[in-house]
Each structure stands twice: as C-alpha cells, then as structure tokens.
Structure 1
Amino acid sequence: MTRRLIQLFAGLFLYGLSIALIVRADLGLDPWDVLNQGVFERFAKPAGISFGLVVNLIGMAVLLLWIPLRQKPGIGTFANVLVIGTVANFGLDWIPSDLGLPLRAGLLIAGIVLNGVASGAYIGAGLGPGPRDGLMTGIVARTGWPVKWVRTAIELTVIAVGWLLGGSVGLGTVLYALTIGPLVHVFLPLFTIRR
C-alpha cells in the first residue's frame, strides 16, 4: 500500500506539472485543459480565481456526474481532484510565459510525454480512477456503448465547449490527441502494481 500511495501521488504531481508545461507552451492544450482554460478565461480570471483551482473545481463537478452512473470513487479519485490543479498552479508560477517558439515546442513535447508517464503511474497505482476516466467508464457500463465512441464524444464535447469559451486549440491539441493513447499504452503496464 505504501508503494501504491507514493506512486499515486508522484503520478498526480507529475500530471499537474505536465499541465503547466503544456499551458506555458501555448501551442494548444489537451481536451480537458481546453475546457479548463475556457472556463478560466471567461469566468474565473475576472473573479481572481486561479487556473489550478478551476482544474480542481471542474474535477469536482465531473464527480457529481458519477452519481447517476453509480460510479464508486477511491482515494485516488479524491486525490486527483485535490492535487493536479494545485500542482499545475505551482508549475505555472514557476515556468516563465515569455519563451521563444523552440522552447515552447520543447515544453509541449515534454508536457505530453510527462502526461503519459504520469497517467500510467497514477492509474497503475490502482487506487481509483480520475474523475474524467470514471465518467467514461461509468457511461460505458450503463449504456454498453463502445469505449472508443464514448471517449471520443466526451473529448470532442469538452474541446468544443472549451473552445467556445476561449480555450486554446491548436497543434498541441492534435499532437496530444494522436500520442496520448500510445504513450499511456507504453507506460501503464510499466507502472501497474499487481495486487
């Protein structure tokens, strides 16, 4: 259990850091961060609420969608909601925002790879899915629809809503969409802890 907890929190820490890297790259965000940024720009920033807090609040809101799906959270689910956005805030404070294109491209690539590693680590700990993953698995369990269609529909919906609210869609969004599946496919087996 100790190893699982350490791996969970290390994965969540790295996931939050990966968000900060991708945001600072300013070349397009992953789907959920398009939504997070759109909500931040439209509602939170004018109210003085940080980007990281928006990440955490949207995670909590997604957890509410679990209720009709009868999903059961674990310690990893609640840790996900509390840790990722908090670490993203620290990363955004630490990483400069006025970088040239080559450095921003490097941040984007590093952020996407780190996101794959972090996903493998926190999911592999086996202490509960993140809010967004649980939403997908809950919909699949209740409807019987294929995972690929449910996941795609969720991702396209959050991109569209986020973009309409002012979130950043670009090359990074496409690159993330094309590479995150294969990256998690590589890293998840490496970090999965057998019970």
Structure 2
Amino acid sequence: MVLCKKREKPLFTLSQLLCFFSGIFILQMGVAIQVRTELGLGCWDSVNLGISKLFNSSISLASFTVGVIMVILAGVIRKGRFRFTTLITAFCMGFGTDICLFITSFFTISSESWRVYPFLALGILLAGIGFALYLQSGLPPNALDDFTLALTERYPIDIGKAKLVVDISGLLIAFLLKGPIGLGTIFITLLVGPCAGVFNKVWKSILRK
C-alpha cells in the first residue's frame, strides 16, 4: 500500500509577502518623507549616529550593533528564543529606505516651516500605517520591531503602547549619546507608536475578512 505524503506547509504565503513588502514600502516611504523635511531623524536613527560618533565607527556598523542588542534583549524576554532572522529584515528595510529616498528626491518640500509640518504629519501617518501592516504578515520583523513585539507577548500592552515605550527609550538614549535630536524627532517619537496602534486594529479587521 502506497502512503500519500502530506503536503508540506509553505514557509510563507503570497498574502504574507504582499503584507510584508507593501508594509515595508509604506513605512520606509514615511521615513523618507520625514528625512526630507529636515526637522529631525527618528530616535533610533539618532541613536545610531550618536554611537557612530562616540566610537568613530560607520553608521551601518552602529545600526547592526543595535540590532544585535535588540535580538538579545528580545530573546531574554522570550526566555531564550532568539530570532536572528530579524537581521535579514533589517537589511530589506535599509534597501527600502534607499529606494524611497531616491523616489522622494524628485519632489521639493518647501523650507518654510509652516509648509514642512504637513509633510512631517504625512510621514508619521505613513510610518504608522506601514509598521502595522508589515507586522500583520507574520514574517520576521526587524530586530527593533521584534523587541517591541516581545514586549507585547510578555506584558499586557498593545503594539502601539509598546512602540511608544521603545521609541521614548530610544529618545532618551539618543540624548545621552548626544545624537541629533530635532523637533521632528520628538513628534516622530510620540506619534508613530499611537498611530501604529490604531492602524494595527484596522489592518487586523480588514485582513481577517
């Protein structure tokens, strides 16, 4: 008697890939718009710059170091389950940022302060939408976002509040490392997390239908 082999479950589905890459693109487009406003970097980008200046190293090395630290912290929270695959996602995000910065280079953002803030608001909104969407894919997030998820798994807080806690921590670390902090940095730190929390619920309701 010939036994039929069970069909192996695929590592990921097409819908997961669509959520993952669409979310990353929207997120990084938001980041690129934030950069173009020149009102300040995201808090963890400021941390990376602070580390690179302190140790006279490249920004990419500083970013990778922070990523490894986040993997370790997330693993500790999960009691020994380390996810080094998150570093691959970090590479995808870096590539996505380069693409989005290239796209936004064709658009001019007025240097007049009152005209810059709507663009900053748009960047924050897109970052929140994209962050919530790519996490819905179930594929490995980058190391920093995986640490945020680990907090929601261990403690009774939603993704928006966890993101806010992580970003405020990043802002404090950036301040201690004397990384560049602008008014935009503060807005990004305080608003992306709550925005992501709102759209996390929206995406959940849409994708479950």
1:64 to 55, 68, 72: 72
- Give distance in 1, aligned partners of 2:120 and 2:50: 19
Structure 2 residue aligned with 1:121: 133
SS at match of 2:39: coil
Correspondences of 1:1-195 after superposition (within 5 Å): 1-42=13-54, 49=58, 55=63, 58-69=66-77, 70-71=80-81, 73=83, 77-93=86-102, 95-96=104-105, 100-102=111-113, 104-138=116-150, 154-192=166-204, 193-194=207-208
TM-score (structure 1 length as normaliser): 0.72
In structure 2, the gaps of 5 or more residues are 1-12
* Larger relative contact order (CA 8 Å, sep ≥ 6): 1
Q: Give the structure with the higher percent helix.
A: 1
Q: Distance in 2 between matches of 1:159 and 1:64?
A: 20
Are the aligned partners of 2:27 and 2:126 in contact in 1 as well (CA < 8 Å)?
yes
TM-align CA RMSD: 3.6
Asked if the contact 2:129/2:196 (under 8 Å) is kept, the reply is yes
Pick closer, same or farther for the CA change 1:56–1:98 going to 2, 3 Å. Answer: farther
User: When the two structures are aligned, how many residues end up with a matched partner?
Assistant: 189
Tell me how far apart the structure 2 counterparts of residues 186 and 146 of structure 1 sit (CA, whole Å): 13
Q: Which runs of 5+ in 1 are unaligned?
A: none
- Flag the 1:17–1:58 CA change in 2: closer, same or farther, 3 A: farther
Deviation track 1:62-100 (CA, whole Å, cap 9, x = no partner) reads: 22333333345496x345312112222344455459951
Q: SS of 1:127's equivalent?
A: coil
Moved more, 66-75 or 28-37: 66-75
Give the TM-score, by structure 2 length.
0.68
Bigger radius of gyration among the two: 2
CA gap 1:141/1:183 in 2 versus in 1, 3 angstroms: closer
Superposed structure 1 runs of 4+ greater than 6 Å apart: 145-150
Counterpart-to-counterpart distance in 1, 2:128 and 2:197: 9
Q: Percent identity?
A: 24
* Paired position in structure 1 for 2:8: none
Q: Distance in 1 between matches of 2:53 and 2:96?
A: 19
Checking the alignment, whether the CA contact within 8 Å between 1:121 and 1:191 is kept in structure 2 is yes
